[in-house]
Structure 1
């Protein structure tokens, strides 16, 4: 466990030395400030201009969801960039045969960053939320966001050969979040086309609070992780 913690600290130090990755990690703070102060102001202006009661307010929950997922996603993106840099320098195989071992290496690069970011996302939501959340909903969404971030980080690392491709893959991997706006935009059976995405059920859970939707999102995430874990494992070894 000590080796895993030391390895995680190494990741943090590498991110702190890279201005771009450091900025990426603080993206959720900037987004939170914008969502919390600019969105309600825009809502007031738009409603006044178009003489309607609401335009953006029905999507406030979606903004909160995006805010929560942004922290784990960006931190795992930064961690995946560090992994790609280590892979380019042929350090991954070396690290995997140290006392850290392969599982410890992956835990320090993907799992611990995602879990840590999940806790941070709770604080970010507390500061910048637009809608009311129960404690249970916050914790449940935080867990789902952390799992989604692990998947995204695994996709970025396993499908990229270098950091340049990793940046492109970071944008492509955001497609796993495509399910988030669907329940807000579609209210008929068309929305179930996206039911294979865990992010869709995450969004349904945020809207309805049904434990069944949480379980569906959790199961889909847990079913996806082993596939990409195997790909990451092959690349590391």
Structure 2
């Protein structure tokens, strides 16, 4: 337990996190690319056509992992925001703020791919379905967080205000997840279950799960890169940043 507390405080140090993220980022990116190739090959080539939707269903190998990530990233942001608000930890603010654009991108991809699938299946690009509408609200919350963060001259004040908005916006997550249960909706129900049997054949399920892991490693790689760049700006006057700049000049 003491070791966990030690590493918790260690990673809360900007220079330690900068070095840690620098080591892990290329590995996360490489794993994400390898898994994406395997997952897309399995989903677009190996998996059979759906007996009702034909090949049109294959968009799920992008749509579903993106939808999962839109919720997962917001969950990570909520935890980081809680830590930032309660303990005022600088690194938690950085994680929350730098996760927001990535989460917004995944949410946007979810909505776009959903529309591309909805046109041939439902006959329309958009309908005010409970799942679609709550996912659109999630995108607006992401954009609101990004806008609020940049609305303050003092970035620490902006991050703190945005963290409060993140915590308020958490109420939308169960609405997105359970919308197909709580309301009569066009969107199909849950087919992949962590506990219990999934309502999808194994040949379609494994590429979907591979893509899920691919998007998570991509998120980690993207977050590490964004956080490292942000830390250099945030800590620009500190000795460790000046040392990095000095080392870069010496190498060039």
Tell me which of the two structures has the higher relative contact order, counting C-alpha pairs closer than 8 angstroms and 6 or more residues apart.
Answer: 2
TM-score between the two structures when normalised by the length of structure 2: 0.31
TM-score between the two structures when normalised by the length of structure 1: 0.32
Rg larger in structure: 2
